[in-house]
Structure 1
């Protein structure tokens, strides 16, 4: 295998090695993929203003997030169903984040559970959370993350319904039968008829609560002592409301 010298090369290699359905799941966006394209373009518009004649023989990129010191201002975002790409999936990601001295955020739709990720060894981990119609399911997930030693909850608020992912529709995407959403195993899912793992995945996706509002963020504060990161704030107006909501500013 050729030496990889740039992170962009991973995508070409993944396209060669992964089944089309799996590759398209990771690589595609929703609808016309305008936001996916714009996100990439936005990074190209970020420019450095280099300063000269500065001693750079020793570089310190460390920073802190919620008081946790990390080696660089880069964290691992939540990505679902990682074992579709590699047998070790989230296990390997957790070990890599720990070795790199940074934070991993585990998707609630992971193919490894919070307990399994915790078992990989030391590391700072956050847990990504959707709010479901059944708040008991939410509370159970939060309690498991707490017991597993996760340090924060990353609440996704910009997905009251999942995007229409056209590549997944064309591929008739389903979670491979040998995998499951491990964080939902053993939960009390109410009236759910867990006939099979693909049924579980479809059920969970359909249970995201479209009525999610600011009061639910405040409710989440009452059931956990962990810090809550609100993931998906896109406007200054919502940022201001959020700060006022959390800190009771006028």
Structure 2
């Protein structure tokens, strides 16, 4: 195999569809051996390992099995996550704990299980999937935003802890992406066409972000050649976080 990830082993959580699927395919196209950790198995060609990131035993087994199948782990992409809607009063305690357990603690579980393998690699890296919701106040996304803000903070703290071990930690922050979750939200809207137009309009470049665009950013962050890219959050949001255009 040739490419930036030739002879490298990558683990992608939530890799059965959407951004995770695009990331798994992009890493494989660059020569990586890829293990997809997900609760469901899709029609991809990568090694699949059943995994529920909300369950510690499931994560430990899945990461260990993936490492055995691939001959180690050089790259982890923490992508698995779930959505949540509403203002601060919209979700009860159980829902807060459920979403935090998947979106934040789930990433910690995977990183913890993978660290022994990453420390053995000469180019270990973890890339977490944050969100535009990490840095921009979005309406009706309080719970989701809280989890993604935690991912951003956790990324920087993890980077500080592990940089001297040779393990780089970064995150990518997509804007509203054209994923199966967004498609479901649009289908549930009273006027799907108007809702999509509103989502597109709030991003300065006037459209939804593609999963492939996010995947290319992840490949950059995880690239073994980018050894000085550490503790970075890379927005892929059409300028939504940084730009303030006139109406």
Q: Same fold (TM over 0.5)?
A: no
Quick check: which one's strand share is greater? 2
TM score, norm. by length of structure 2: 0.30
